[in-house]
Structure 1
């Protein structure tokens, strides 16, 4: 009988972890000099969520690389289908890996970068280890998320819509003309889109971009929720990248056993 499986499907499964399925062909990419794929990055995000930073699951949200890729080619209505189940409106910080592949029919890509949404500050921050190569694609995705959050913002309760209750104290001071006029005009203006290209340690080769995404993401979460004070540029070095490849590989086999 003919075997119609792809070469990837023929590769034995190493780890089935929540929504991540890693095959031997994925794990082998952690050996240098290999460009890691969406499966490895997706696994790292899921491990952060389920294990390493599970104490901050109410603050941190992750969008998997596969969902991020789907969002690129989706209409605003379709974006809701992918993002609503993630309950991102409940998160303060949202992380997503950006790939430079802009073809619907072709897999792969040549570069990864990290996009972070700070919902409290209403800002999108882009970290790119290759001189901002993915800036335009990251901004395109950020605009899609901005539209999603703006259009699908949770409705205020009836009490919030009504505003503060009127003071029934007859001796209360009379409201000023400004208070009677209601909210200022700028309070009713639509939110402004804010996208910033952030400083990021730069890779020294053509294949470590995905590892930078994982390690920058990890460091930023530690900064946000664990009060890590070490600057990003100091925390991430080439030796750190090499070591982390091996650490990830060991972690995968440890979770398998």
Structure 2
């Protein structure tokens, strides 16, 4: 019967093969991550957080078309959000599949800083820096003024690839267009590698990405009980995600499937 559709949630379609990535000890695909980002957004009490889908994060990191990045930033008013979450993948070719590792890059406007969380320390540093370098001009004003810090991993020269992008996919969240040029930051955002629990295998990286995204949403919803987002992540994310996160996601998805059947 092929790869059966099992759930349509917002604009995300999950198929049987997507759920298989949760059941077995294997690498999560971008569809599962996009689903959970959408789920977190719908349950969040904050309007000041933006999730960028994995496929778009890869495009932003790898495309050579500045107009595409500018139009994307305008479409979601990226320069006005308190927190912006991007996935990082070690895939250099956004025209095709691939990639072997996920990490997460978080822009915190109050610090005017990009925070990189990698559950295999150093593996995605180059790719995170490439994404940071592509989008840092479009984040807009705000945050403390500080000397930009570039991580010890120097950004290598990118391949001179020309990509023609004919569309701008909207991020997860509601926004109206505005001029990015008018809100260019006076000081370039900083980049920081952050302490992250380290995975014990080669396939649970996506679980840490989801757990960190969840911790950020919980922090926002709890009215900033912790002093900052870094403290919130340190408090809420540990290696227990490897034992619990897959079953928790499958339960969420199954409940949504049950609800959608009952509503028919």
TM category (shorter chain) comes to 0.7 to 0.9
Inter-CA distance 228–204: structure 2 relative to 1 (3 Å threshold):
farther
Question: So what's the TM-score if we normalise by structure 1?
Answer: 0.76
Matched residue, 2:246: 245
Distance 2:9 2:2 in 1: 19
Inter-CA distance 35–228: structure 2 relative to 1 (3 Å threshold):
farther
- Secondary structure, in 3 states, of the residue corresponding to 1:115? strand
Inter-CA distance 36–123: structure 2 relative to 1 (3 Å threshold):
same
Deviation at 1:105, TM superposition (A): 4.2
Matched residue, 1:161: none
Across the two proteins, how many residue pairs are aligned to each other?
214
Which deviates the most, 67-76 or 79-88?
Answer: 79-88
Distance 1:72 1:255 in 2: 33
Matched residue, 2:35: 43
1:221 and 2:211 matched: no
Stretches of structure 2 that go unaligned for 5 or more consecutive residues are 142-178, 259-264
Question: So what's the TM-score if we normalise by structure 2?
Answer: 0.74
Distance 1:153 1:93 in 2: 17
1:137 and 2:138 matched: no
Distance 1:193 1:239 in 2: 32
Deviation at 1:205, TM superposition (A): 0.3
Matched residue, 1:12: 4
Matched residue, 2:150: none
> Matches of residues 40-189 of structure 1 in structure 2 within 5 Å?
40-51=32-43, 53=44, 55-56=45-46, 58-74=47-63, 75-150=65-140, 153=180, 155=182
- Secondary structure, in 3 states, of the residue corresponding to 1:44? helix
Inter-CA distance 234–245: structure 2 relative to 1 (3 Å threshold):
same
Deviation at 1:72, TM superposition (A): 2.1
Distance 1:242 1:119 in 2: 33
| Preserved contact between residue 222 and residue 228 of structure 1 (Cα < 8 Å) | no
| Preserved contact between residue 128 and residue 200 of structure 1 (Cα < 8 Å) | yes
Matched residue, 1:178: none
Match of 1:195 among 166, 170, 191: 191
Structure 1: 4+ residue segments shifted above 6 A? none
- Secondary structure, in 3 states, of the residue corresponding to 1:10? coil
Distance 2:182 2:103 in 1: 33
Distance 1:102 1:88 in 2: 24
- Secondary structure, in 3 states, of the residue corresponding to 2:240? helix
Relative CO higher for 1 or 2, CA cutoff 8 Å, sep ≥ 6?
A: 2
1:21 and 2:13 matched: yes
- Secondary structure, in 3 states, of the residue corresponding to 1:238? coil
Deviation at 1:225, TM superposition (A): 4.2
